[in-house]
Amino acid sequence: MSTRTSDSRPATGGPTPPEAEETASPPETGTAVVKTGRWRRLRGIVLVGIIVVAAAVVPLLLSPSGDTGGRYADPADTSLVGTRALAEVLADHGVAVERVDDVSAAVATADSDSLLVVTEASEVSEADARRLAASPADRLIVGRAPHLGILAAGVTPRNRATRARSREPECGLRAAVLAGSAHLGGLSFTGPAGSTGCYPAEGRPTLVRYVLDGRTVTVAGDGGFMTNLRLAEDGNAALALNLAGAKRRLVWLVAPDLGDRSDAGETGGSDATEARSLGDLVPDGVGWAVLQLVIAVAVAAVWRGRRLGPVVVERLPVIVRASETVEGRGRLYRARRARDRAALALRAAAADRIVPRLGLPPAAASDEVAAAVAVRTGEDLNHVRTTLYGPAPTDDAGLVALAEHLDRLERQVRDS
């Protein structure tokens, strides 16, 4: 008794033996294995989700900063890409800002005491550019304005654009020196003789001013410093005010509104402008988003549909003989006393072997099969019909007798 007491399990609340602590580790290992397997199943879905999100976010990151769908460089637009804030600042300083969306109106309005602003958003044909260049007003050309070689003769833009960022003037132009650093870049230029270049990028100025036929022409490589988004940064407001407020009157040429484009052909001397199609109204970033989404889906399809190689033939751990399968199935029928099912299986197998030998189709009727067997074997028709399609036996002896009759009929058909 004492020996058993000393070897018995410790009482509840006592210290846990080291063996018990070791046996508690397998459940934790099993949990870790389950978590690992779950992660392996879900990582494909997570990867596809990351690709889709990246395809949607990357175009937004690559799109121009502050692009909210407004009218770029429009003094009446209050979005981040508009210039409404600059127009109000100019008005506070006594500059009359006149917004026009037609070249004929701009030419008629601008005079020698005016400054004409043309941006890359302005829709100007070659003929319109020549009319603007002949105007007596000073000109401020911003960004990739159309027909720059006509509007600012003698200024040659560099083919490769530079990144717009905060730059120092590094020139003696009073408007730039007073403003200091400003957000410029985009195009850089080679100016004509006697011109002044400021805010250089890679050795070339991004702001050029010169005098042509008594008119002051100023060209800026990027108009970001004038927009509502950038106006309050660095010396952007001072530079924009110094450039655009050089005259008491400012004529700002913008693109026509969508509702007015159908009437563009009626403007004096202006080329007719075709209405924009649905594709022109789709933002540029949408195309990149769709393209990246298609690439992401294609990569995911290739990844998930990769070939796993040829089928590997495995040896079965146990080979079961056909006779053993038959005996096992027969024992199951006997245990459940399923004589009807056993008789049906015997008759169906015999019919499948007999019918082709008789030259009958597989879907032949029972009477047709019974008649053909009776003719071939010389057996009584009723006996043949009962053997092939009769009722199920009521005992095991009847089932054995049925098997013998079917075997005999099949042998007679085969040997006849």
> pLDDT tens digit string along 229-253?
999 999 999 999 999 999 999 999 9
- What does the pLDDT look like over 286-344, one tens digit per residue? 778 888 888 988 888 777 766 666 667 777 777 778 888 888 888 888 888 888 998 99
Specify the pairing of strand 182-186 against strand 162-167: antiparallel
Per-residue confidence (pLDDT) for residue 274, from 0 to 100: 44
More confident call, 6 vs 28: 28
Question: H helices of 63-135, where?
Answer: 84-92, 103-109, 126-133
**Average per-residue pLDDT for the chain:** 81
Calculate mean pLDDT across residues 28-57: 66
Calculate mean pLDDT across residues 355-372: 90
Q: Does 11 score more than 50 pLDDT?
A: no
Q: How far apart are CA 154 and CA 27, in angstroms?
A: 82
More confident call, 8 vs 73: 73
Q: How far apart are CA 214 and CA 299, in angstroms?
A: 61
Per-residue confidence (pLDDT) for residue 261, from 0 to 100: 46
Report the sign of the C-alpha dihedral through residues 31, 32, 35, 36, in that order: negative
Question: pLDDT grade, residue 194 (50/70/90)?
Answer: very high
Question: pLDDT grade, residue 278 (50/70/90)?
Answer: low
Calculate mean pLDDT across residues 18-32: 46
The percent of residues in the chain predicted with pLDDT above 90, rounded, is: 47
Calculate mean pLDDT across residues 379-404: 90
The percent of residues in the chain predicted with pLDDT above 70, rounded, is: 78
Quickly count helices (H) and strands (E) in the chain: 16, 11
CA atoms within 13 A of residue 164's CA, in its CB half-sphere: 18
